[in-house]
Structure 1
Amino acid sequence: MALNTYFVDREEEISTILGFIKARANVLIYGLRGIGKTTLLEKVHDILIHEGRKVLYIDGYEILSPEDLFVISRRTPIMDARDSVRCIFEMLDHVIIIDEFTSLIQMLARYRPFGNVEDVVKYIRSQTQLRRKRGGESIIISSSALGFIKRATMKYFAPLFREFKLLFIGPMSFEAIYELAIKHGIKEEEAREIAELSTGNPFYARKIIEQVIAQGISPREALFKLIESKGDLDIYFTALMENLQAEERYILHLIARGRNRFYEIEEKLYKDPSPYLKRLEDNGLVLKIKKTRKFSQYIIPDKVFQAWLLSQEIPSLGKISREAIYVSSLGFEALVRELLRSITSVIKIRDWLGQSLELPPFRAVYNVSGHDYEIDAVGLRNNEAYVFEIHFWGKARYNKVLQLIKNAELFAKDYGKRIKEKVLISYFGYELTNKEKEKIKEQGIKLLTSKELREIQKKTGVKLGF
C-alpha cells in the first residue's frame, strides 16, 4: 500500500492561514520538529498555486549564503546581505513562505553588514513594514526554535514579531494518529499503540507505520528498530546532534537520564551550563519548568528523542535497557508523568464526574514498583502523596478504581505518606453504572479523561500531545 496520505487533522490550521493570506496578514507558525509545519506549508503552497497565486517557497535550512537568496529571486548579486533580503521582500505580488525562518536569520547574521542576529531582525522588520505599506502579499514563516520564539516575542525582537500573527502547531491528537494508522491498514490494537508511542508527532507515526507494514512487526519493536544504530530515526537524531556543541550533547544525555536540576547538570559538566541550556531552549530541545524561584528543572519535550538518547551508550552514564526506556520515556504513562512534572502553580479543574480537583506543583513525580503492586504515577508535595492510576487501552471499568484504592493503601503503608488524592486517568473515558459513579464519589476518587488532560496541558503551557 502506498504511504502517501499522512496529512490529517490540520484543516482548521489551513483555513486559518488562508484567511490571514486573504487579509494580507503575515503569519509566524511555530512548533516542535516533526510536528507537521513543513507539510502544512507545502499544503498551503499547493492550494495557492492551484488558485493561480504567485508563491515563493524558501527552505531556511537550504539557504547557505546570501547568494542563494539572489538566485531564488532571480536577481544579480549587488552589494551585501541586506540586498539579498530586500530582493526577496520586493517581490510584492508573491506570497512568501519561509520554512525554518530562524535558520535563515542565523545564516544572515554571519555576513556583512550584519553583526549579529539583532541587526538582521531589525532590518527584516523594516523590510516587512515597507512591504506592507506597498500592498505586498502575505509573508508566512515557520520555526522549530520554540525558546527563540518565546524570547523573541517578549524582548528585543518583539517589534518584528508584532508584524506577524502567531500560530502554534501542536501535536496531533491520539485519535488523529489512530485514524491515520487505521487508514493505512493497521489493526486497531496496533493503531492504538502507534498513537501512544508517537505522542502526536506525525513524522514519528509515519515512520512507525512504514516499519510495521514493511516488516510485519509490532509498533514497539518497530520504534526500537528505528532508533537503533542505522535506523531512520537514529540517522535523523544523529544529524541533529552533530549540529550541537559537545557540552550541549552531554547535557541532553544528562536530562534524559533524570539529572535535570541545574546543580546536577553543573556538577557533571564541571562548568557553568547556563549558555548551553539557553541554546538548547532556543532550539526547542529542552524546556525549563520553573516551580519556585529557587527550584527549576529541565525536560525534553520530544519523548521519542529522549528514548533515543537513553539508548545511546555514554561513558560514565551507561546504556539503558529497552524496558527501562519504555517505562521512563515512551507510552501514555510516561507522558502523563511529564505533564504532572510540568505543573508550576495550583491547577483547579472539574473531573469527569464534575468533582473539584486541585493539582499543586509537585516536588517529585515518579512511578513506583512495590512488592506486589505497581503505581503508574505518584506526585509528592511535602508529606502528602497524589496517587495516579493511568489507563490508555479503551474505556476503564470499576475494577480499575478498586486497583487504584488498593495500590494507594499499600503505598501509604510502605512509605508512610498521607494520601491527599487518588486519581484515575482513562484517556478514552469510562464504562460505569450510575451506582458505581455514586460509589466513586463517596470514596473520593477523581476521574480524568482526555478532555481534562488537555485542560491541564493548556494551563501548564507545555504541549505534550494530549
Structure 2
Amino acid sequence: TLFNALLRELGSSEVEVLFLLSRGVDTFSELKKRCMGINLVQTLKNLKVRGLIDKVKLGRKTRYRITDITFSAWLASKEFPGLGAQSIEEVRENVLSFEALVRELFARINYWVVVTDCETRELRIPPVLSVDGCGTTKELSCIVETAEGLMLLETHFGGECPPEKVDRLERSAVVVRKVIGKPIYAAILVSYFGFRNDTLERVRDSPLDIYLMSKGELRRLCRAVGYRVI
C-alpha cells in the first residue's frame, strides 16, 4: 500500500515515533521516555519537514500530531515491537477526533472565506461567532453561528458517506428552525473519504440546500484560514 511504501522510505527512529504518536504518546517528555537511544529532536524535525507531523499548543502543553488522520488510524491498527495493534473500538475512538477537528477548524474562521464544495458550488463562509459542539438536536456534529445565520454541520468518517446522513441533516434543520428560530445560512455534509453515488443523488433531491466537503475541500479550507492541514 501507499502507507507501507512511505514507511520504507523512513528511518527506524522516525517509524518508531510515528507509531507512538498513533497511540497517543504525543508530548516530548512522553516520547523521550519511550524512545531511548535516538536523537528525538532531529527525528521530530525530520518528520515535520516531511509534512508528516505538526506541533500544536493545547493548554499548557505542546503536543505532536500526525497530520493525516487516515495514516494515523492505519498506524494504530498495525502492530509494532512493544506496541500491540489497537482494537477496532480503539481505532474508532481515535478517528472520532475528526469531528472535534472539524469543529475547531470552523471556530477559527473570523473573516469571510470562499471555498468550492465537491460539486464545484461556491460557498461563502461568514465570520464565525460560536460553535455549538453537541448541537440543539443532539444529532448534528455541530451548529455554527455566523454573522449571517446558522450553519448546520454533519460529519462522517470511515468510508464514503451514506445517504442516512442527509436524512439526519434534514431532520435537524426542522428542529433548529423551531427551537432556535434563527435563519439557516447553510447546511454542510463533511465526509473525509467522499460520498456514495446514492448519497449524491439524495443531496440533489433534498429540499435542504446542502454543501459537500471531503478531504480535498477540508484541506483547502485549512490553508485558507491558516489552520493545520487535516
Q: Distance in 1 between matches of 2:56 and 2:164?
A: 44
Q: Residues 8 and 176 of structure 1 are in contact (CA less than 8 Å); yes or no, is this contact kept in structure 2?
A: no
Ranges of 4+ aligned residues in structure 1 off by more than 4 Å: 7-14, 97-100, 143-146
In the alignment, what sits opposite 1:191?
A: 91
| Larger relative contact order (CA 8 Å, sep ≥ 6) | 2
Cα distance per residue 1:112-164 (max 9 Å; x no partner): xxxxxxxxxxxxxxxxxxxxxxxxxxxxxxx9698xxxxxxxxxxxxxxxxxx
For structure 2, the 5+ residue unaligned runs are: 12-25, 46-53, 58-63, 80-84
Q: Residues 352 and 449 of structure 1 are in contact (CA less than 8 Å); yes or no, is this contact kept in structure 2?
A: yes
Counterparts in 2 of 1:411 and 1:426: CA distance versus 1, 3 Å: same
Q: Distance in 1 between matches of 2:130 and 2:56?
A: 28
Counterparts in 2 of 1:145 and 1:420: CA distance versus 1, 3 Å: closer
Counterparts in 2 of 1:403 and 1:424: CA distance versus 1, 3 Å: same
1:428 paired with 2:193, answer yes
Q: Residues 341 and 361 of structure 1 are in contact (CA less than 8 Å); yes or no, is this contact kept in structure 2?
A: no
In the alignment, what sits opposite 1:176?
A: 71
Deviation at 1:189, TM superposition (A): 5.0
Cα distance per residue 1:280-338 (max 9 Å; x no partner): xxxxxxxxxxxxxxxxxxxxxxxxxxxxxxxxxxxxxxxxxxxxxxxxxxx32222111
- Structure of larger gyration radius: 1
Counterparts in 2 of 1:173 and 1:384: CA distance versus 1, 3 Å: same
Q: Distance in 1 between matches of 2:75 and 2:102?
A: 23
For structure 1, the 5+ residue unaligned runs are: 1-6, 15-32, 47-56, 60-96, 101-142, 147-168, 197-330
Deviation at 1:387, TM superposition (A): 0.9
Q: Residues 8 and 180 of structure 1 are in contact (CA less than 8 Å); yes or no, is this contact kept in structure 2?
A: no
In the alignment, what sits opposite 1:404?
A: 169
In the alignment, what sits opposite 1:303?
A: none
- What letter matches 2:155 in structure 1? I
TM score, norm. by length of structure 1: 0.35
Which is richer in strand? 2
In the alignment, what sits opposite 2:182?
A: 417
In the alignment, what sits opposite 1:351?
A: 117
Taking only aligned residues, the RMSD between alpha carbons, in angstroms, comes to: 3.8
Q: Residues 111 and 126 of structure 2 are in contact (CA less than 8 Å); yes or no, is this contact kept in structure 1?
A: yes
In the alignment, what sits opposite 2:104?
A: 338
Q: Residues 428 and 450 of structure 1 are in contact (CA less than 8 Å); yes or no, is this contact kept in structure 2?
A: yes
TM score, norm. by length of structure 2: 0.65
Q: Distance in 1 between matches of 2:180 and 2:221?
A: 28
Q: SS of the residue aligned with 1:375?
A: coil
In the alignment, what sits opposite 2:227?
A: 462
Identity level (%)? 25
Matched pairs, number? 188
- What letter matches 1:455 in structure 2? R
